[in-house]
Amino acid sequence: MARYGPNEHDVLIIGGGGAGLRAAIAAIETNPNLNVAVLSKVYPMRSHTVSAEGGAAAAIKTNDNFDLHAYDTISGGDWMSDQDAVEAFVKEAPEEMLRLEHWGCPWNRQDDGKIAVRPFGGMKIERTWFAADKTGFHMLHTLFQTTLKYQNIRRYDEWFVTKLLVDEGRCLGVVAIEIRSGKVEAILAKSVIICTGGCGRVFPFTTNANIKNGDGMALAYRAGVPLKDMEFVQYHPTGLPFTGILITEAARSEGGWMLNKDNYRYLQDYDLGVPQPKPVLRSMELGPRDRLSQAFVKEQEKGRTLKGPYGDYVHLDLRHLGEDVMNTKLPFVRELCLKYENIDPVKNMIPVRPVVHYMMGGIHTDIQGATPLKGLFAAGECACVSINGANRLGSNSLTEIVVFGARAGKAAAHYAAERTSMSPSVAKLTADEQKRIERQFYGGGTRTEKIASLRKEMHEAMENGAGIYRTESSLKRSQERIHELQERFKNISLSDQSYIFNTELIAAIELSYMIDVAETIIQSALSRKESRGSHQRTDYAKRDDQDYLKHSLAYQTTKGSPRIEYLPVTITRWPPGERVYGR
Ligand SMILES: Cc1cc2nc3c(=O)[nH]c(=O)nc-3n(C[C@H](O)[C@H](O)[C@H](O)COP(=O)(O)OP(=O)(O)OC[C@H]3O[C@@H](n4cnc5c(N)ncnc54)[C@H](O)[C@@H]3O)c2cc1C
């Protein structure tokens, strides 16, 4: 039996969200003798997965099949998805959903006892499994309670990773801060899986929780792993204007309407890919998220949006659905509106605006979750396999985190079983990181920059220059500002100089991660001179398959902007075509 030091494991997973917990279970089930650890900056049940509302896609009905799910995903992603990954994804999706059912996930059912599915944007067939509008909560709870069965899964709750330990081209573990004590320690592993979620907080208006700062993406990037397709940032058309809180797409799938200031269903005026015998009343609110968000900007330009204290907005009208539907299918929507807007959607229209929701891009991995760095794997929203291409379809992410979480867990377990020795350089690498944190964040009496002001400036730069519509000049302006923020960050000053629960220290490091991620978004967007899915360049308005049917890979350089390389998109059976959503 192998012997382990106190902080030494076979497989270490960074992140206790859906992807991380599914990976942990897969690793231990692959080899029950392995010593597996899950490390998370928040208690696992507080990961962002908990807030997912609408549901998880998997073909289950007799009128559905794997090819239809694959085609919706690929066309929804504007042909940027790797089709081998999508084929694996759609096939394993129902297996994963049923496994969750056996572990206790309370999926909604029809009256005849069969699994109920709801329609979702861009999916031409109803295939979204749901547990009321608290799907993420139930999935995460199911996964969390399943991990508790295994003695060999150790948890590091409220530990924060600051660096990947890398020597001789291999990942050896991480350096992390134990938040409650402030001690900085190495945690070693033969394989590491990054499952740290998305980076919506790089933008000012987002549905993403405060903890979604692109930590894992920046950690991998700093370790020399490229970030793939970072120009593709998804806006969701229906966030609450002030808080950015999401009003789930399920509200539109149950029949909600989008209305402009004249109470007009404005989406009928836009090309949503829907063939136009106007008005296309059934499916227009269920067009894909990128097109709906773009339509909002056009309405804004025509002066047909409403003005509010937190910017322009339109209305989501659910009043005609009635109280019964609200209470049975959308109880959380009602609760959120009552608590955060003081309105009841049974009687009032809901003010909404597009808000940043999801990152299609992320850490470059292969179909098993392996990155180009030996011993390092990634899964979930932080990774880019890629199944989501240039625009993710609603309800594919919750499925993706379990399908690819499981794949990465298995691959990391196999890799760990082969490795034996640890590198002697770990002690030095750890000491260097301890010194860096001390030097950069403690005792700097003359430093003047504040986290809040740098973060605000980053938000403005991203919203103004790299938002729903982009141009070369808007991106260049943002790039200059982000470069400036990189420099100014060196002068960051913390007013809290303590070690115990120093949340200001954590916020400062998170900001440094976000600035790194921001520069990859901007450079990848500048280099892609076409419009595709969520990446809309008004100076290059057309999709250009000739030159850009390829993934971008952003590599960190020692000075200045990231270097962009490209990788072909894998096409198996569906050659590029037009995105069409008519029923
Ligand atoms: C409001 C909302 C609703 C959504 N609804 C849906 C939906 O209905 N259907 C759908 O398919 N998708 C939905 N999504 C998207 C989907 O929920 C997410 O993409 C998915 O849950 C991400 O899971 P994850 O495991 O990759 O990351 P997360 O659940 O975000 O977990 C990340 C983990 O990493 C840890 N971590 C991060 N950084 C560090 C660090 N430096 N050190 C240590 N630990 C760290 C965190 O503590 C956390 O445990 C929604 C997203 C939001 C924001």
What DSSP assignment string belongs to 286-347?
GS-HHHHHHHHHHHHHTT-SEEETTEEEEEEE-GGGHHHHHHHH-HHHHHHHHHHT---TTT
Is 578 within a domain?
Answer: no
Is 344 within a domain?
Answer: yes
Q: Kindly indicate the confidence band of residue 159, based on its pLDDT and cuts at 50, 70 and 90.
A: very high
- On the 0-12 / 13-18 / 19+ scale of CB atoms within 10 A, 537 is buried
Q: Kindly indicate the confidence band of residue 581, based on its pLDDT and cuts at 50, 70 and 90.
A: low
Q: Which two tokens stand for residue 521?
A: 């978004």
236 Cβ closer than 6 Å to some ligand 1 atom: no
Residue 441 φ/ψ, nearest 5 degrees: -115, -10
Q: 246: which DSSP letter? A: B
Cβ distance 133 to 248 under 8 Å? yes
Please state, for a pLDDT cut of 90, what percent of the chain lies above it: 86
> Rounded distance, CA 490 to CA 448, Å?
10
300 Cβ closer than 6 Å to some ligand 1 atom: no
* Residue with CA closest to ligand 1 atom 14: 52
Cis peptide bond N-terminal to 32, omega within 30: no
In angstroms, the Cα distances linking 322 to 126, 239, 251, 329, 378 are 22, 21, 12, 11, 43
Q: 262: which DSSP letter? A: T
Q: Which domain-ending residue is among 354, 377, 411?
A: 354
Is 573 within a domain?
Answer: no
Distance 140 CA to ligand 1 centre (A): 10
Q: Which atom of ligand 1 is nearest to the CA of 21?
A: 25
135 Cβ closer than 6 Å to some ligand 1 atom: yes
Is 69 within a domain?
Answer: no
Co-location of 247 and 349 in the same domain: yes
Window from 86-100, 197-211, 272-286, 360-374 with minimum mean pLDDT: 272-286
433 Cβ closer than 6 Å to some ligand 1 atom: no
Q: Which atom of ligand 1 is nearest to the CA of 56?
A: 11
396 Cβ closer than 6 Å to some ligand 1 atom: yes
Residue 7's nearest CA partner among 189, 214, 217 is 189
> Rounded distance, CA 201 to CA 488, Å?
19
- On the 0-12 / 13-18 / 19+ scale of CB atoms within 10 A, 242 is middle
Co-location of 242 and 350 in the same domain: yes
Window from 103-107, 178-182, 277-281 with minimum mean pLDDT: 277-281
Residue 380 φ/ψ, nearest 5 degrees: 90, -160
Q: Kindly indicate the confidence band of residue 281, based on its pLDDT and cuts at 50, 70 and 90.
A: very low
Q: 206: which DSSP letter? A: B
75 Cβ closer than 6 Å to some ligand 1 atom: no
Is 131 within a domain?
Answer: no
509 Cβ closer than 6 Å to some ligand 1 atom: no
Note the pLDDT of residue 227.
Answer: 98
Tokens 């859906």 -> residue:
18
Question: What percent helix, strand, coil does the chain show, rounded to 5?
Answer: 40, 20, 40
> Rounded distance, CA 388 to CA 366, Å?
14
Cis peptide bond N-terminal to 386, omega within 30: yes
Cβ–Cβ contacts within 10 Å for residue 127, how many? 27
| Best probe residue, ligand 1, of 13, 42, 48, 157 (max atoms within 8 Å of C-beta) | 48
Q: 553: which DSSP letter? A: E
Residue 89's nearest CA partner among 343, 387, 535, 536 is 387
Cβ–Cβ contacts within 10 Å for residue 271, how many? 12
* Integer Rg of the chain from CA: 23
Distance 355 CA to ligand 1 centre (A): 16
Q: 569: which DSSP letter? A: P
380 Cβ closer than 6 Å to some ligand 1 atom: yes
Residue 315's nearest CA partner among 251, 392, 394, 393 is 251
Cβ distance 529 to 542 under 8 Å? no
Residue 581 φ/ψ, nearest 5 degrees: -120, 10
| Best probe residue, ligand 1, of 49, 240, 404 (max atoms within 8 Å of C-beta) | 49
Distance 381 CA to ligand 1 centre (A): 7
* Residue with CA closest to ligand 1 atom 33: 15
246 Cβ closer than 6 Å to some ligand 1 atom: yes
Note the pLDDT of residue 1.
Answer: 45
467 Cβ closer than 6 Å to some ligand 1 atom: no
Catalytically active residues, by annotation: 236, 252
Co-location of 246 and 349 in the same domain: yes
> Rounded distance, CA 111 to CA 144, Å?
29
Distance 166 CA to ligand 1 centre (A): 26
Cβ–Cβ contacts within 10 Å for residue 508, how many? 23
Cβ distance 354 to 361 under 8 Å? no
Q: Kindly indicate the confidence band of residue 65, based on its pLDDT and cuts at 50, 70 and 90.
A: very high
208 Cβ closer than 6 Å to some ligand 1 atom: yes
Q: Summarize pLDDT for 515-539 with one digit per residue, the tens.
A: 999 999 999 999 999 999 999 999 9
> Rounded distance, CA 41 to CA 20, Å?
12
Note the pLDDT of residue 468.
Answer: 95
CATH number at residue 454: 1.20.58.100
* Residue with CA closest to ligand 1 atom 21: 49
* Residue with CA closest to ligand 1 atom 51: 52
Window from 130-139, 284-293, 475-484 with minimum mean pLDDT: 284-293
Q: Which domain-ending residue is among 332, 354, 376?
A: 354
In the chain, what is the greatest distance between 2 CA atoms, to the nearest angstrom?
72
Co-location of 243 and 340 in the same domain: yes
Is 525 within a domain?
Answer: yes
Please list the residues that pair with 370 across neighbouring strands. Answer: 377
Query: What predicted TM-score, i.e. pTM, was given to this entire model?
Result: 0.96
Note the pLDDT of residue 53.
Answer: 87
Note the pLDDT of residue 274.
Answer: 44
Q: Which domain-ending residue is among 310, 329, 354?
A: 354
Note the pLDDT of residue 167.
Answer: 93
Is 451 within a domain?
Answer: yes
253 Cβ closer than 6 Å to some ligand 1 atom: no
Cβ–Cβ contacts within 10 Å for residue 335, how many? 12
Cβ distance 34 to 416 under 8 Å? yes
Cβ–Cβ contacts within 10 Å for residue 308, how many? 12
Distance 4 CA to ligand 1 centre (A): 31
Helical H segments across 6-134, by residue range: 18-30, 66-76, 83-103
Is 5 within a domain?
Answer: no
Structural domain that includes position 462: 443-549
> Rounded distance, CA 61 to CA 221, Å?
41
List Cβ neighbours of 228 (8 Å cut-off, separation of 6 or more): 361, 362, 363, 364, 384, 386, 551, 552, 553, 554, 567
Helical H segments across 122-214, by residue range: 135-147
CATH number at residue 341: 3.90.700.10
Q: Kindly indicate the confidence band of residue 275, based on its pLDDT and cuts at 50, 70 and 90.
A: very low
- Angle among Cα 177, 199, 400 to the nearest 5 degrees reads 100
For the chain, how many structural domains are there in total? 2
| Best probe residue, ligand 1, of 139, 196, 210, 513 (max atoms within 8 Å of C-beta) | 196
Q: Summarize pLDDT for 386-400 with one digit per residue, the tens.
A: 999 999 999 999 999
| Best probe residue, ligand 1, of 382, 384, 398 (max atoms within 8 Å of C-beta) | 398
